[in-house]
Chains A and B, each alone.
Chain A
Amino acid sequence: MSIYLDHNATTPVDDRVVDAMLPYLKGGYGNPSSGHRFGRESQQAIQCARERVAALIGVQPAQVVFTSGGTEANNLALKGVMALADENSGLVVSAIEHSSVLQPATALQAAGCPLAVAGVDSDGKVKSDAFEQAVSKKNVALASVMLANNETGVVQDIAQLSEVARRHGVRMHTDAVQALGKLDIDFSALGVAAMSLSAHKIYGPKGVGALVVEKGLRLQPMLHGGVHEAGLRAGTENVAGIVGFGMAAELMQSGLIQRTDHCERLRQRVEQALLKMAHVVVFSRQVTRLSNTLFFAVKGIEGATLLMSLDRDGIAVSSGSACTSGSGKPSHVLLAMGVEEGLAHGAIRVSFGSRNTVEEVDLLISSLQRQIKSLLKLNSGWA
């Protein structure tokens, strides 16, 4: 029986979300573009979900464009905006973005788009002056900085950054995939032109997300072939998935404080135990983080090794982004923070969820204590 502590990688779907989705899998199967009753029912279901997602972040339903997930939303934001920007317009991203922002940015750069990367400080916060310098250059069309980082949990001051960007005539996009449901998000207050969301981080199904856009944002679609999503995203809608997303969003409307307090307490417990151990570095402690995320490393211990030991003890955590965890490379986020590569290789991410308990966390702690002790002993045995 494994204890799941990798909620930033994905979350189990809430039973109430499953219940909401089921009718649209089993029956209620009309193609929303069809003119008959089955189609109309599917359309209504999508509209209801759209309203729920919109309500969670304070926008109009028409501002929500459903996609197949966070990766697609990020791709659509960057490529969609830059395709319609003036020729040779530039793009700014932060050094700690998820690969689904960095890779499209790199692809755009390879196609001739000037790209600037704004660095972060040792805590993982975007350097304001570096950011300002980047957006103040001539012809920058878009800046993208994530609201909360999936590895460190660090929360950026997007409202402040978007104000700086706006002063220089630059629009802002923010990847809020990890932040949704963990922070109180107000789209307009953040001053962004576009925001990416994903369902499977908020106890909703995988395969569905959204790009939320400000009214009037010019966006070239990435998927052609039909007038779905107001012409911005072609393809028969994933009705059950969208319905699930809507329900998951609705469930996130209440209980934010309880969820964050709960996770904060669990994290504090683990963090206190970790800080008592020698050789342990906890990243980004000094800055605002998502309350559920704990990113640390043990000097001299390979992350992969510790992960395996924890797994043997029935503990499921990760070494950083799931999307890139197979690569064997150290976290680009930590490297951008100036963390020495050897230490970065040792990074472990624990991400709590609303159903984790104190008992589970105590098992994690005792496992960590045991495994770290024995691995350090092994190391010293070689000295």
Chain B
Amino acid sequence: MSKSERVPVYLDYAATTPADPRVAEKMMACLTMDGDFGNPASRSHIFGWKADEDVKIARGHVAALVNADPREIVWTSGATESDNLAIKGVAHFYRKKGKHIITCKTEHKAVLDTCRQLEREGYEVTYLDVESSGLINMKVLEEAIREDTILISIMHVNNETGVVQDIAAIGELARSRGVIFHCDAAQSAGKIEIDLEKMKVDLMSFSAHKIYGPKGIGALYVRRKPRIRIEAQMHGGGHERGMRSGTLAVHQIVGMGEAFRIAKEEMAAESARLLALRERLMNGFSDMEEIYVNGDLSHHVAGVLNISFNFVEGESLIMALKDIAVSSGSACTSASLEPSYVLRALGREDELAHSSIRFSLGRFTTEADVDYTIELVRKKVEKLRELSPLWEMYKDGVDLSKVQWAAH
């Protein structure tokens, strides 16, 4: 990367976030000889006890953000592991009760691939459709529940569209039918209110690196009242009440705790600020033709905006926008050239799905960043459309749906 190339404006906070400086500082204090580097499982000396105390405090912070009991927080290596642990853990533990699982098509791969693995093991999975808004239809969910359904897994906030599901209602439904409810909150914790005392969610996955904490650490909430049991997936020294063995990475845990503590304090103000920025961004595009917002903005997290730009080729668009760091499709799948399965589930045609951009704003995004982005996107889309024969046909009033395309 030559010095003359500017650093891209970062608008990919939904993919990952930089660690907040306050988080980095706390983590640094748990690494070296003069910090709390001990193994928290070392019961016989001060190095272990200090590390253990740090873990305890961090656990409290995570629990506090979601109004849970600290004993309900199980440390994992990230939300992917939390999803795996929750879904496989429930499926295996309750296999005698039933082998049917309900999830939805717009879940993260960590949920979908885990479900596919369970299908290979003989479980049955129903993948619900969503409405064009991105929302689950409660009636459809209700009708999908069977006698042998043991688990429902629906995410709180979708990572691609930013759409917020009504997990309180899903929790009520699940509880009334005696089905365990798991919710992937990787994109929601610290961004919107979660009250696990009120919401009937049984298991909840958390990620640190989506909320200005480090990568490689997450947690799984496991409800105690009523008691939810899961079969451990990682066996060994019996850490985390036997639910997840492995030496606790104190610096990581402390980082996650601090990130969650900060999020609790700053969530309301940050959310308002991000909403204003997102609206500024949206307004900057509002007079453009043939653009489509993916996901219902009225059931939506503040920082995310996913827009499809019609008559622009997806790959070209992403390349043209290299001065801003954004993504088209979830980061975990952008290596492949498949159109986003989430957008297809919302009813978007392949073309529109391919030419979508997810802008995700965050703690360090400024108005200048947004203005720069608006200018860049407008310019590049206009340019790419000039080169597009389809755009020309559209401008000439041709109804493209009526065209007979010759086969290639």
Contacts A200-B247, A226-B333; A18 near B83 (Cβ below 8 A): no
Query: In the complex the two chains form, what is the Cα distance from A100 to B332 in whole Å?
Result: 29
Does B366 interact with chain A (Cβ within 8 Å)? no
A240-B215 in contact (CB<8A): yes
Does A235 interact with chain B (Cβ within 8 Å)? yes
Interface string of B67-104 (1 = CB under 8 A from A): 00000000001101101100000000000000000000
Does A223 interact with chain B (Cβ within 8 Å)? yes
Query: In the complex the two chains form, what is the Cα distance from A229 to B200 in whole Å?
Result: 36
Task: Please give the distance in Å from A203's CB to the nearest CB on chain B.
Answer: 10
Which single residue of chain A is at the shortest CB-CB distance from B218? Answer: A235
Could you say which residues of chain B place their CB within 8 Å of the CB of A94? none
Could you say which residues of chain A place their CB within 8 Å of the CB of B83? 225
B209-A36 in contact (CB<8A): no
Could you say which residues of chain A place their CB within 8 Å of the CB of B333? 33, 226
Question: Looking at the complex, which of A8-16, A115-123, A159-167, A367-375 is the stretch in contact with chain B?
Answer: A8-16
B19-A26 in contact (CB<8A): yes
Query: In the complex the two chains form, what is the Cα distance from A100 to B246 in whole Å?
Result: 8
A34-B12 in contact (CB<8A): yes
B37-A10 in contact (CB<8A): yes
A12-B81 in contact (CB<8A): no
A226-B8 in contact (CB<8A): no
Does A322 interact with chain B (Cβ within 8 Å)? yes
A236-B209 in contact (CB<8A): yes
Could you say which residues of chain A place their CB within 8 Å of the CB of B322? 36-37
Query: In the complex the two chains form, what is the Cα distance from A238 to B218 in whole Å?
Result: 11
Interface residues of A in 1-39 (CB under 8 A from B): 2, 4, 6, 9-15, 18, 22, 25-27, 29-31, 33-39
Does A264 interact with chain B (Cβ within 8 Å)? no
Which single residue of chain A is at the shortest CB-CB distance from B210? Answer: A236
A225-B318 in contact (CB<8A): no
Which single residue of chain A is at the shortest CB-CB distance from B35? Answer: A12
Could you say which residues of chain B place their CB within 8 Å of the CB of A2? 45-47
Query: In the complex the two chains form, what is the Cα distance from A304 to B44 in whole Å?
Result: 8
Query: In the complex the two chains form, what is the Cα distance from A237 to B217 in whole Å?
Result: 10
Could you say which residues of chain B place their CB within 8 Å of the CB of A70? 246-247
Q: Which of A29, A31, A227 is in CB contact (< 8 Å) with B19?
A: A29
A37-B335 in contact (CB<8A): no
A71-B246 in contact (CB<8A): yes
Query: In the complex the two chains form, what is the Cα distance from A47 to B111 in whole Å?
Result: 27
Question: Looking at the complex, which of A135-143, A184-192, A205-213 is the stretch in contact with chain B?
Answer: A205-213
Interface residues of B in 137-177 (CB under 8 A from A): none
Interface residues of B in 219-267 (CB under 8 A from A): 233-239, 245-252
Contacts A6-B45, A236-B332, A323-B247; A224 near B32 (Cβ below 8 A): no
Could you say which residues of chain B place their CB within 8 Å of the CB of A200? 39, 247, 249
Question: Looking at the complex, which of B23-31, B270-278, B345-353, B387-395 is the stretch in contact with chain A?
Answer: B23-31
A206-B250 in contact (CB<8A): yes
Task: Please give the distance in Å from A85's CB to the nearest CB on chain B.
Answer: 16
Interface string of A315-332 (1 = CB under 8 A from B): 111110111111100000
B252-A234 in contact (CB<8A): no
Contacts A205-B249, A316-B45; A18 near B233 (Cβ below 8 A): no
Task: Please give the distance in Å from A352's CB to the nearest CB on chain B.
Answer: 14
Contacts A13-B32, A225-B84; A317 near B327 (Cβ below 8 A): no
B39-A29 in contact (CB<8A): no
User: Count of chain B residues with Cβ under 8 Å from any Cβ of A?
Assistant: 75
Q: Which of A31, A99, A326 is in CB contact (< 8 Å) with B245?
A: A99
A37-B46 in contact (CB<8A): no
Query: In the complex the two chains form, what is the Cα distance from A116 to B289 in whole Å?
Result: 69
Query: In the complex the two chains form, what is the Cα distance from A68 to B28 in whole Å?
Result: 19
Could you say which residues of chain B place their CB within 8 Å of the CB of A322? 39, 41-42, 48, 237, 247
Does B33 interact with chain A (Cβ within 8 Å)? yes
Contacts A26-B18, A29-B19, A226-B80; A35 near B235 (Cβ below 8 A): no
B251-A33 in contact (CB<8A): no
A35-B318 in contact (CB<8A): yes
Interface string of A278-320 (1 = CB under 8 A from B): 0000000000000000000000000010011001000111110
Could you say which residues of chain B place their CB within 8 Å of the CB of A316? 42, 44-48
A72-B247 in contact (CB<8A): no
Which single residue of chain A is at the shortest CB-CB distance from B120? Answer: A220
Interface string of B281-322 (1 = CB under 8 A from A): 000000000000000000000000000000000000010001
A31-B47 in contact (CB<8A): no
Contacts A205-B31, A238-B216; A224 near B41 (Cβ below 8 A): no
A100-B235 in contact (CB<8A): yes
Could you say which residues of chain B place their CB within 8 Å of the CB of A207? 77, 216-217, 249, 251-252
Query: In the complex the two chains form, what is the Cα distance from A66 to B238 in whole Å?
Result: 22
Could you say which residues of chain B place their CB within 8 Å of the CB of A304? 44
A311-B44 in contact (CB<8A): yes
Contacts A225-B80, A311-B46; A100 near B325 (Cβ below 8 A): no
Task: Please give the distance in Å from A238's CB to the nearest CB on chain B.
Answer: 2
Task: Please give the distance in Å from A150's CB to the nearest CB on chain B.
Answer: 11
- Which of A27, A99, A207 has the most chain B CB within a 10 Å cutoff? A207
Could you say which residues of chain A place their CB within 8 Å of the CB of B114? 224-225
Query: In the complex the two chains form, what is the Cα distance from A307 to B45 in whole Å?
Result: 8
Could you say which residues of chain B place their CB within 8 Å of the CB of A33? 15, 331-335
Does B64 interact with chain A (Cβ within 8 Å)? no
B234-A71 in contact (CB<8A): yes
Which single residue of chain A is at the shortest CB-CB distance from B84? Answer: A223
B78-A30 in contact (CB<8A): no
Task: Please give the distance in Å from B401's CB to the nearest CB on chain A.
Answer: 31
Could you say which residues of chain A place their CB within 8 Å of the CB of B239? 323
Which single residue of chain B is at the shortest CB-CB distance from A226? Answer: B332
Query: In the complex the two chains form, what is the Cα distance from A18 to B33 in whole Å?
Result: 12
B residues with a Cβ closer than 8 A to A are 1, 7-8, 10, 12, 15-19, 21, 24, 27-28, 31-33, 35, 37-39, 41-48, 77-78, 80-81, 83-84, 108-114, 116-117, 207, 209, 214-217, 233-239, 245-252, 318, 322, 325-327, 331-335
Beyond A9-B42, A200-B249, A240-B216, list 10 extra A-B contacts (CB 8 Å).
A30-B15, A33-B335, A69-B77, A103-B236, A223-B84, A225-B110, A226-B110, A236-B16, A238-B77, A240-B215
A-B contact pairs, 22 of them (CB 8 A): A4-B47, A9-B48, A12-B37, A22-B28, A33-B331, A36-B8, A68-B216, A69-B77, A69-B249, A70-B247, A75-B233, A103-B245, A205-B252, A206-B252, A208-B249, A226-B333, A236-B78, A236-B80, A241-B249, A308-B44, A317-B44, A324-B237
8 shortest interchain CB distances as A-B pairs: A238-B216, A207-B249, A323-B237, A225-B110, A100-B236, A316-B45, A68-B77, A103-B235
